[in-house]
């Protein structure tokens, strides 16, 4: 197996699209060589624990309502092309994602990481749920095969918070400055929400699969 380390944040729309594109490519090659692990990267590490109003935050950060509307329309177009159910106007809160990253970490221990990552992204971008809220995170965990009550207890503690922050800082120190960032075999970096065809070529180079670069 070949390691595929993915640095992402559930509130990053390009991470949602990038995961969908990767999933489409891997579905064509059930014998793909990747052992996938998801890693924390907070787009907004300064975000208060309770989060903020998403629309107000984006308009202040990006330059006003018209600019945000244009970006959201572009996101809808890209999402439709990738087959992703996304409504950028649906989320009302911009959360702090430290707890979401803790949940992703715990899901990895139970071999449920990819499923929970997808559930978090779908919950935020398609359903507008507040993934900074502990009850919401516990619900998502329970909906995906984890022990809801145990997760809620963990979220009420500071379990693994320092580790998540340290891993985020380490990623930045090693040059990760945007997400999604994919690290293949601990050597090769693929940045951004690349289309499935890019992953076809990567698989072809790694495996010599006769159809991967068709």
Does residue 126 sit in helix, strand or coil? coil
Contact assessment for residue 154 and residue 102, using Cβ atoms and an 8 Å cutoff:
yes
**pLDDT at 208 (0 to 100):** 77
Among 85, 162, 70, 153, smallest CA distance to 119 is for: 85
The helix or strand, by DSSP H or E, that contains position 135, with its residue range, turns out to be helix 134-143
Q: Does a structural domain hold residue 34? A: yes
Cα four-point dihedral sign 167, 173, 176, 177: positive
The helix or strand, by DSSP H or E, that contains position 6, with its residue range, turns out to be strand 2-8
**Per residue in 134-192, pLDDT tens?**
999 999 999 999 999 999 999 999 999 999 999 999 999 999 999 999 999 999 999 99
Is residue 207 very low, low, confident or very high in pLDDT (cuts 50, 70, 90)? confident
Is residue 210 very low, low, confident or very high in pLDDT (cuts 50, 70, 90)? low
From residue 3, give the alpha-carbon distance in Å to each of 37, 106, 191, 193, 203: 8, 19, 16, 18, 12
**pLDDT at 202 (0 to 100):** 93
pLDDT above 80 (res 212):
no
**pLDDT at 194 (0 to 100):** 95
The helix or strand, by DSSP H or E, that contains position 101, with its residue range, turns out to be helix 98-109
Q: Does a structural domain hold residue 214? A: no
Contact assessment for residue 68 and residue 62, using Cβ atoms and an 8 Å cutoff:
yes
Q: Does a structural domain hold residue 213? A: no
Q: For residues 84 and 89, give the distance between their C-alpha atoms in angstroms, rounded to a whole number.
A: 15
77 burial (CB, 10 Å; 0-12 / 13-18 / 19+) is exposed
Q: Does a structural domain hold residue 159? A: yes
From residue 150, give the alpha-carbon distance in Å to each of 2, 137, 159: 32, 12, 12
CATH of the domain at 54: 3.40.30.10
Contacts of 186 (CB under 8 A, 6+ apart): 3, 5
Domain count, the chain: 1
Q: Does a structural domain hold residue 68? A: yes
Domain region containing 14: 2-207
**Per residue in 74-118, pLDDT tens?**
999 999 999 999 999 999 999 999 999 999 999 999 999 999 999
Q: Does a structural domain hold residue 45? A: yes
**pLDDT at 211 (0 to 100):** 57
**pLDDT at 76 (0 to 100):** 96
Q: Does a structural domain hold residue 86? A: yes
DSSP 55-92: HHHHHHHHTSHHHHHHHHHHHHHHHHHHT----TTS--
**Per residue in 4-62, pLDDT tens?**
999 999 999 999 999 999 999 999 998 899 999 999 999 999 999 999 999 999 999 99
Q: Does a structural domain hold residue 117? A: yes
């Amino acid at each position: 197996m070949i390691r595929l380390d993915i640095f992402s944040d559930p509130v990053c729309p390009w991470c949602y699209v990038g995961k969908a594109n990767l999933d489409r490519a891997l579905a064509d090659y059930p014998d793909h060589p990747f052992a996938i692990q998801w890693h924390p990267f907070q787009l907004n590490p300064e975000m208060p624990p309770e989060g903020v109003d998403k629309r107000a935050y984006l308009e202040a950060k990006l330059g006003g309502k018209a600019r945000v509307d244009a970006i959201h329309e572009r996101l809808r177009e890209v999402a439709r092309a990738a087959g992703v159910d996304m409504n950028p106007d649906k989320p009302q809160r911009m959360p702090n994602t430290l707890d979401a990253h803790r949940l992703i970490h715990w899901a990895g221990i139970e071999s449920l990481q990819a499923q929970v990552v997808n559930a978090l992204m779908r919950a935020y971008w398609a359903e507008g749920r507040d993934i900074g809220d502990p009850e919401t995170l516990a619900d998502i965990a329970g909906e995906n095969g984890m022990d809801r009550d145990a997760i809620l207890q963990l979220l009420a503690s500071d379990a693994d918070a320092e580790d998540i922050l340290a891993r985020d800082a380490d990623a930045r120190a090693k040059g990760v400055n945007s997400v999604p960032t994919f690290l293949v075999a601990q050597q090769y970096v693929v940045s951004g929400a690349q289309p499935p065809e890019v992953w076809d070529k990567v698989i072809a180079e790694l495996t010599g699969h006769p159809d991967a670069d068709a």
